[in-house]
Structure 1
Amino acid sequence: MMNCDDKLGVCSVSSDESANIKLKLDKKATLYYIGDPMCSWCYGMGDILKNVEKYCKINGIKFQILVAGLRAGGGDVWNDNFKSFLKNEWNKISELTKKEFSFSIFNLDFFNYDTRPACKAVYIVKKMTNNDSLVSLDFFSKIQSKFYAKSEDPKELGFYEEICKETKIDFKEFSELFNDEKTGDELEKEFMFSRTFSPSMPSLVLINDEKKTNISIGYSKYEDVISRLEKVL
């Protein structure tokens, strides 16, 4: 089940307590970004997150993305109520962040808002680049732009061909991994693992000296994120 709070700028999913996954707490400072390319508040915070990643690189903090599957599998009924909810969220985010949104998707008679393929794409890029945070975050951002600003469908493999070219990701290898059932199994494990950090998106969680600290749960300004980071480092 998913719940969104536009006052806090956050969407949350139910954490699977039965997964029984134990956190491996890093000794080296690592900032985990828990998100989903089709989470609208993650899109709204996109430019801020790029600057946070740069700050981490300059200051010797590891930055790592974890995809959490906000609407993995989709299933929301594509009716007036759901469309109205999305429009309301997108308008608020656009007003706050000035991010561009296309609303032409709402002209479709049917759309399955399944975020699993977009999450899988980011997971694959992380795997192909050995968790290169700059490339992975850039790929993540380009998915968001094509979906939110151009109303293109991230469920289709062809959606990613241009993004792979722009980020220098081998599309043939990407395609093979995208269609591999094993990748889907690995992705489900990442979903469960990410929710042990936080069931909310966007979230920034710092692991340092084997201690976990929530830096940001929901949309936050860059200055606030850095201020909280510097207080605990």
Structure 2
Amino acid sequence: MPNTTLYYVHDPMCSWCWGYRPTWDTLQAQLQQQLGQQLTIKYLVGGLAPDSDLPMPRPMQQMLQQTWQKITQQLGTKFNHDFWHLCQPRRSTYPACRASIIARQYGLEKQMINAIQQAYYLNAKNPSDLDTLVAIAIQVGIPEAPFVEQLTANDIDKQLLQEINLAGQLPIQGFPSLVLMVDNNAYSIRLDYHQWQTSLADIRTILSNIKPC
């Protein structure tokens, strides 16, 4: 079989990624069970918003609150709206993206992403803040001192920018997105928030049309 990778392009603080998570978890389990030896799943952070210490403008806060409500209406996803008055929102997701990359080195990437999402969307914590990310790192089993050091390390920032650049070259429509890479060919995979079978069918169709090396 040729080198085959399924990229999950996301941002840990993307609300639609949180809404998609139950379907994505099921799809991953099915892929592992049915096609585990034929493809590798890799997470790719796309970086929604760069570093910023500025408060999020009120119109953007209102827009995001409306997005949360829309996701709840369409998908039944739970959100803790206390976040908007308990925290000082900032439009800054790069710190959470770096935390995910660091966790990958420890084999804890999925655990980190899930913990960031739960802290943000269920527990009204702000993953744009360093203290929130440190607490999450400790929670998932990453030592505090090296985690804090790596959050501002040049190599982690370089890797983040490389992933953002790669995501920009893939055939995606936003976050989350799925892209099947076979050798040097990228195939956009339909992403269905309700039915994991839609994406699996696309992947199977593409793989069945590829001749073995």
* In structure 2, C-alpha distance between the alignment counterparts of 1:189 and 1:30, rounded to whole Å: 17
* In structure 1, C-alpha distance between the alignment counterparts of 2:67 and 2:54, rounded to whole Å: 16
1:33–1:82: structure 2 CA closer, same or farther, 3 Å change rule? same
Other-structure match for 1:36: 11
Q: CA deviation at 1:74?
A: 4.8
Other-structure match for 2:190: 216
Q: CA deviation at 1:166?
A: 4.1
After TM superposition, the structure 1 = structure 2 runs for residues 1-233 of structure 1, keeping only pairs within 5 Å, are: 27-58=2-33, 59-60=35-36, 61-74=39-52, 78-107=56-85, 110-126=88-104, 128-129=105-106, 132=107, 135-197=108-170, 198=172, 200-216=174-190, 219=193, 221-233=195-207
Q: CA RMSD in A?
A: 2.5
**TM-score of the pair, normalised by structure 1:** 0.77
**RCO higher in 1 or 2 (8 Å CA, sep ≥ 6)?**
1
Secondary structure at 1:30's aligned position in 2? strand
Residue ranges of structure 1 left out of the alignment (5+ in a row): 1-25
Q: Is the 8 A contact 2:75 2:194 kept in 1?
A: no
Q: CA deviation at 1:220?
A: 5.9
Q: CA deviation at 1:162?
A: 4.2
Aligned length: 203
Q: Is the 8 A contact 1:41 1:218 kept in 2?
A: no
1:116–1:125: structure 2 CA closer, same or farther, 3 Å change rule? same
1:64-103 per-residue CA deviation (whole Å, 9 max, x = no partner) reads: 0010111123588734422221111100111222222111
Q: CA deviation at 1:52?
A: 2.1
Secondary structure at 2:190's aligned position in 1? strand
**TM-score of the pair, normalised by structure 2:** 0.83
1:19-78 per-residue CA deviation (whole Å, 9 max, x = no partner) reads: xxxxxxx93221000010111111110122222222232222210001011112358873
Residue ranges of structure 2 left out of the alignment (5+ in a row): 208-213
